[in-house]
Amino acid sequence: MENYLGKKIKEALPATPVRVAGLQDIPDFGDRFLAVENDKIAKELVKTKTIKRKVLSIGELSRDIREGKVKELKIVLKADVAGSLEAIKNSLKNISTLKVKINVIHEGVGDITESDVNMAVASEALVIGFRIKAQIEVMNLANREKIKISIYDIIYQLLDDLAATLSGLLEPEIIETEVGRLQVLAVFKTSKSEKIIGGRVTTGKIENGVEARIVRDRDNVGTGKITNLQQNKKDMSEVLEGFEAGLKVETTAKILVGDSIECYKKEERVRKLGE
């Protein structure tokens, strides 16, 4: 390590310009260095960060997003020229929302390097390249570290993939679809968590295993789930409109004669950016 006069030095204080030699890889502008006491500590630090990493590609990240494991999209971004880099960064702002966050943890011009891969490993980030390439040794490192490098030649394809991934960061929309309704004619047995009732299907059909809403005088007084459905003392998967049925409802709500049991299904819909 040398100072700005070319004189060898053993340490440098903050804001001191230095020249460092002996690095295994060529660093990029903006790379950060962490100084430790010896090689053993450095290797242990790298090992610790490696253990904590995830195996990430765009497809795998989407899966983690759907499972709620990831709430931020981290990117190592490389491009052929500064103009491309700025264009991509500006476009990323257009697909961002207040509910999702894109964090470009590192950016640079030129081919993807081993340093880029190592940064992705430590930060659990995606490696995205535009009109550049990665040498065979870089690809080998990425394979060993289970980091997928995604390289694009067309900017809209890059943005479309990232937008699709970001959509998974949004909380899904819960859509309720009514299946049918039943008018309660009798209450046979009640406990704290279950009610056994009889009634007539007034609209649609009643299906076993669906969600249920207890309605009294147009007010929702509780929710539950149908755990058993019978017709003429035979187990049924569904009972159609106009027929009577007996059902066991898993609920803590009180059910009275005259109540309406509204049965519905819940589905999750992946929301798109901008909705």
Does the structure show a pLDDT above 60 at 241?
A: yes
| 240 φ, ψ (degrees, to nearest 5) | -85, 170
For 224-227, the CB contacts below 8 A with 24+ separation are 224/195, 224/249, 224/250, 224/251, 224/252, 224/253, 225/249, 225/250, 225/251, 226/250, 226/263, 227/194
Q: What is the pLDDT of residue 68?
A: 55
The dotted CATH code for 2-167 is: 3.40.50.10050
Q: How confident is the model at residue 51 (pLDDT cuts 50, 70, 90)?
A: very low
The CATH superfamily assigned to 173-269 is: Translation factors (2.40.30.10)
Candidate from 35-39, 160-164, 236-240, 269-273 with smallest mean pLDDT:
269-273
Beta-bridge partner residues of 129: 78, 151
Task: Give the integer Cα–Cα distance in Å for 228 and 6.
Answer: 84
Candidate from 48-52, 79-83, 131-135, 213-217 with smallest mean pLDDT:
48-52
Average pLDDT value for residue range 30-42? 67
Q: What is the pLDDT of residue 26?
A: 65
In the chain, CATH 2.40.30.10 covers: 173-269
Does the structure show a pLDDT above 80 at 256?
A: yes
Task: Give the integer Cα–Cα distance in Å for 210 and 229.
Answer: 11
Average pLDDT value for residue range 270-274? 51
Amino acid at residue number 220:
N
Structural contact between residues 204 and 245, judged by C-beta atoms closer than 8 angstroms: no
Average pLDDT value for residue range 251-267? 95
- Greater model confidence, 90 or 59: 90
| 117 φ, ψ (degrees, to nearest 5) | -65, -45
Candidate from 79-83, 120-124, 137-141 with smallest mean pLDDT:
120-124
- Greater model confidence, 133 or 58: 133
Q: What is the pLDDT of residue 53?
A: 44
Q: What share of the chain is helix, strand, coil (3-state, %, to 5)?
A: 25, 40, 35
Per-chain mean pLDDT for the chain: 83
Q: How confident is the model at residue 36 (pLDDT cuts 50, 70, 90)?
A: low
